[in-house]
Each structure stands twice: as C-alpha cells, then as structure tokens.
Amino acid sequence: MSKPDRLGPVLCVDVGSTFTKAVLVDVATGAVLAGGSVPTTSSTDVLDGVARVRDQVGGRSADRTPSTVLVCSSAGGGLRLAVVGYESLVTAEAGRRVALSAGGTVVHVHSGPLDAAGLTGLTRSRPDVVLLVGGTDGGNAEVLVHNASRLGSARVGRQVPVVLAGNAAAADAARAALGTRPVEVAPNVLPRIGDLAPEGARAAIRDLFLRHVIGGKGLSRGRLDGLRFRDLVRAPTPDAVLDGVKVLAELVGEVLVVDVGGATTDVYSTIDPEEGDHPRREVVAALRHARTVEGDLGMRWGAPGIIRAARAEQLLGQGPVGADGSSRADGAAGPGEEVLTAHADRLAAEPALVPTGPGEWALEERLAALAVRVAVRRHARPAAPGQGGRPLRGVRLVVGSGGVLRHGSPALRRAVLEPVLADHAGGWPVPREARLAVDEGSVLFAAGLLARSHPQAARALVDQAFG
C-alpha cells in the first residue's frame, strides 16, 4: 500500500508598505525552512514582490516548492476604520476597542446622532470601513437607526462598506435604513453592559477588508499562478499577528507583544481580565485579546512623534532604565534631547536610513525604548478616570518585534524592552515574572495565517520560536 503524498510547505507572506516578508513553513513539523524579504513593489504590482520573495525562499529545491501561498497585507496604508456609536463612554468606546483589535487603524470616532458636521468629519477621515454600533440588545434603538439613515442617504463615500454591530432588536431597521451601501451585519459588540463581544464584528471587518478594501486600493492587476492578489490575501497584517499572538498565549499564558515599525508602534496583549487588579464590573469590560496602534510612534516616518509623545509623558529627562527601574548598569546617560530630536527629524526625512555606527545605534536604541514605553502606557492605562487599567501583572512573556529589535544587539534589545517591566508610573500593574524575547524570524504573522488551516503547525511554529 502506497503512502499518501506528504503535504508540501506553505509560504506565508506579509505584504507591507515598505517590505514584503516571507516565511516558508513545513506544516508537518512547524519548522521554518527559509525566510526572506524584498522591497514591496507598490509602484508596479505588489504580486511582483510576492513572486520575487517566493523565488528567494524556494530556491531551486523541489522540497521547498510551496504547495500553498497565504498572504496578509498592510500595503496601501492598511485598513482605515471609523466608529459611529451612541454614547462616548459606552457603545462608542466598545466599538473603538473592537476596531483596534480588528487589524485596522481607527481614524475617526463619532458618538451620538450624526448631523451634517458629524458626516463631514467622518468623510474627511477617509475610512475604508465604518463600524456602526449603538445600544445594548433591547435597549435604545433610536440613535442607531438615525445614524444608519444618515449614512444611507449620504452622497459622499457611497461605496464605503459598513459593519452593523449594534442593538440586535434594531438590526433589521438599521440595515434597511442603510439602503444600497455595502453592509455586513454582525452580532452586537456590547449585548449587555459590561459584556464586550468583539469576535463577530472582527470577522465581518475581515470579510469586508478582503472583499471590498483590498481590491479597491489598486495594488495589483496581475495574477500569481492564476490567482489575483485579493484571492491570496487572508487578513490585514495586524489581524494575522493578533491571531498569532493568540496561538502563542495558548502555549505560554498571558503575553504582551510590541511591534516597533517605521510608521507605527503596535501593541498586542492577551490577558485573563478576571484576574485583574480591578475586580469591579466595568461599563465596557476589558478584551481578552487586544491590540492598539499608535500612528504617531514609528522609527522612521513617525520618529518626530516619539519625541513629542515622550515629552508629554515627561520621559525625555530620564535616562535609560533597567528592569528594576534603576539607571542602566553601564552608566550610560543616553543622547540628549536636542541630539535625539535632530535624529528623529532626519529619519522622517530619510526613512531609508540605516544606522552605521555606535552613535547612530545609540540614537536608534533610545528612540525605540521611548516608543515602546509610550505605546505600552497608552495600551494599558485606563481609558477614562475611575476605570481600571489593563491588568498586565500576569504577563509571562514580553515579545519585541520590528527591524530595530531584529537587527539590534542583545544589549539594545534589553534596553528597549526592560523598561516595560519597571514602568510603575504608567498607571497599570506591570508584569511580575515575565521573560523577554524577540520575534527574530517574523513568525507571529505566519502563525496567524496558519492558525485556521494548519493549527498544529501554527502551534509548533511559535513553540519552536518562543518555547
């Protein structure tokens, strides 16, 4: 009796705005067979870059020929989300949290009945998808239906799709009021006060991203092995990474991941909200799996924003710190504010700049450490006075990602990540017993892409990288 053919490797590709990265995975073992990166070919066709990186990691070896190509993308500016809700501290806040976890950048939040000014603000934000929420199930329906009607009759942005995820009792009326606009109906994100239910809306946003947004960005007109780009893409890149973080959390427990990019710094965490330091019931409960994106914190285009944010947080006067909150053991004072500001301005003007000597690497280290510290503060601190911060005390593993960490020295990695473990001034409970790691092989996005079709391979992949 002949043995069944062995399933070939799967190529996982992340098409970013700057680079297209690939990881070739043996799905039988979860082992990384090869990895590669090429500049994203946005000026021609992004599939050109996908083909190049496939050739790069596949080489001429028959056992490295991919059987499947899975793609996530943040090219073309990623996914821009707007939230329209009822009350600013209830359903609008619930919608904002769900949107942040759904692989997009929240570009606008509106609360209350939409009027002409509200529609103007929404239009100016240029969203790819609008998340329309409002009311608990069986609660107030008037504002949800009113807002649906205003969106349905608005002449501008008629092709922008809507995810309707509000009061279930008013869903049919709101759907009808939206008219001919593309709509995906999802379960209410806040069915009851204190019960945040993000998964239905997240799935709907992902579906709209695949069916409407990817094709509308004009990134590709070609085909790869007969498939269009929109057929290859499985998720927005941040959504794929969050799925990878979930896989990691299943293996190690509560985790915190900080991805320091050129334009943004993204923070992901998986926690057990029931074990937080704030046992009282919140109006909008904490998400078990959460993501935030900081559009003003990035190592290239966003570098000047790091300076402004660090100044607002009163961090620029502090030198680099260690895990215990004390000054660095090597006594390094770190670059001064004037020098750091000049370097940040230069990076924004020359985003392709690669650090070449100890002086430039010291500046990169300081900027990255500030970006990480501010981003985690924003991710974890209370959304409003009187609310509890995100309980990170039980985090067992802190993972850093991004080029500055992948290419930096072990000392740089410690200097960037260790302050997260000692930032008691952030207003949230810091991890008590966490170890540090770096996603050196860019496997988290790959694990997220594999999680649905090859769950065992996804688990083995992250176990080998971080176990």
Which residues face 110 on adjacent strands? 84
User: At 360, is the pLDDT very low, low, confident or very high (cuts 50, 70, 90)?
Assistant: very high
Distance of CA 456 to the CA centre of its chain: 23
Collapsed DSSP state (helix, strand, coil) of residue 294:
strand
Q: What is the pLDDT of residues 304-344, one digit of tens each?
A: 999 999 999 999 876 655 555 444 434 445 678 999 999 99
Q: How far is CA 105 from the centre of its chain?
A: 8
Beginning with the edge strand found earlier in the chain, give each strand of the sheet holding 19-26 in spatial order: 31-39, 19-26, 10-15, 68-73, 233-236
- pLDDT number for residue 334: 63
Concatenate the DSSP letters of all residues of 396-462 into one string.
Answer: -EEEEESHHHHSS-HHHHHHHHGGGGG-GGGSSPPPSS-EEEE-TT-HHHHHHHHTTT-HHHHHHHH
Give CA–CA dist 451/248, Å, rounded. 11
Residue 103 backbone zone (phi > 0: left; psi -120 to 50: alpha; other: beta): left
- Cα distance from N-terminal residue to C-terminal residue, the chain: 38
Q: Which residues contact 155 (CB under 8 A, 6 or more apart)?
A: none
Picking from 70-79, 239-248, 388-397, which range would have the lowest pLDDT averaged per residue? 70-79
Helices marked H in 283-432 — which ranges?
303-312, 337-349, 358-380, 403-406, 410-417
Q: In the Cβ-directed half-sphere of 133, how many Cα atoms lie within 13 Å?
A: 36
Instruction: Report phi then psi at 296, rounded to 5.
Output: -105, 10
For 287-298, the pLDDT digits (tens) are 788 888 887 898
Do 379 and 89 contact (CB within 8 A), yes or no?
no
Four-CA torsion 302, 313, 412, 424, nearest 10 degrees: -140
For the record, the structure tokens of 358 come out as 């100890």
Kindly report the average pLDDT of the chain as a whole number: 87
Chain segment 86-116, per-residue pLDDT in tens = 888 788 888 888 887 776 788 899 999 999 9
Specify the pLDDT at position 277. Answer: 47
Provide the pLDDT for residue 278. 47
Which tens digit of pLDDT belongs to each residue from 380-421? 887 666 667 788 999 999 999 998 999 999 999 999 999 999
Q: How many CB atoms lie within 10 A of CB 274?
A: 10
Q: How far apart are CA 366 and CA 361, in angstroms?
A: 9
pLDDT of residue 276: 44
- Going by their DSSP bridges, the two strands 227-228 and 233-236 should be labelled as unpaired
**Residue written as token pair 């896989």:** 247
- The reported pLDDT for the residue numbered 284 is 64
- Higher local confidence (pLDDT), 332 or 167: 167
Measuring CA to CA, how many Å separate 326 from each of 5, 323, 423?
A: 58, 7, 11
E-only strand ranges, 41-200: 68-73, 80-85, 105-111, 129-132, 162-164, 183-185
Say which range, 54-63, 183-192, 331-340, has the weakest mean pLDDT.
331-340
Mean pLDDT, residues 14-29 taken together: 91
CA distance 403 to 170: 47
The CA radius of gyration of the chain, in Å to the nearest whole number, is: 22
